Structure 1
């Protein structure tokens, strides 16, 4: 079953943890010095917050899937929607290891689709080409054109990453 994902940038992690813990009537499933995540069942959402240097507010939205096959299917749907799809295989981000695909909707809202398959001890990989600003896992904008992204199909990397 898919899970909706929301990631917010916050200015004060402790205050935000208190607020969202009350709102969700649940403590976060993961808490780090710069990050917290709730894996809620009602509503079914992966809700994450972080203090990683970006302006407070919505960082990105997404859909978390349970398998690689579901990620491929979702990538095909994104490709059919006409968006540039930027694959990010074996990414270390948000204290997890995942295969991801990034895109933007027509308004410029960033969308992350991903399948998580392991934990990580860092927020992002220090050598990640996607940590463009050194503080975030998500690319700020696709570095590939729609044509080059589709050259090998929706899920074929056009470059090493971003």
Structure 2
């Protein structure tokens, strides 16, 4: 059977700190703010290949995701084009005080590498380099 879909149009994430999460993508990762919708409220950001809709949580006490007890997004994996870019992401995020779960390391025996961090709302974000420079 041929797939009935053709890729991701956007991913919607509910965040506890809308402005800080948007700045994580725009100011630290160089994404563009596409638009805002104050009625939701939501901020749409894009790296030119994927768009994220960041939705503001309606609670003052959001529940953090636990992969063992919740259904939902385990993590968001973003591709980087080179090992140098992966290292740069790590340096930028570390300098900005972003919580890094683990620094760039091999995926299994390599040559792929990845790292994992948490955005300001606590969403796990992975940065993945395939091991082949493009």
TM over 0.5: no
TM-score by length of 1: 0.37
TM-score by length of 2: 0.43
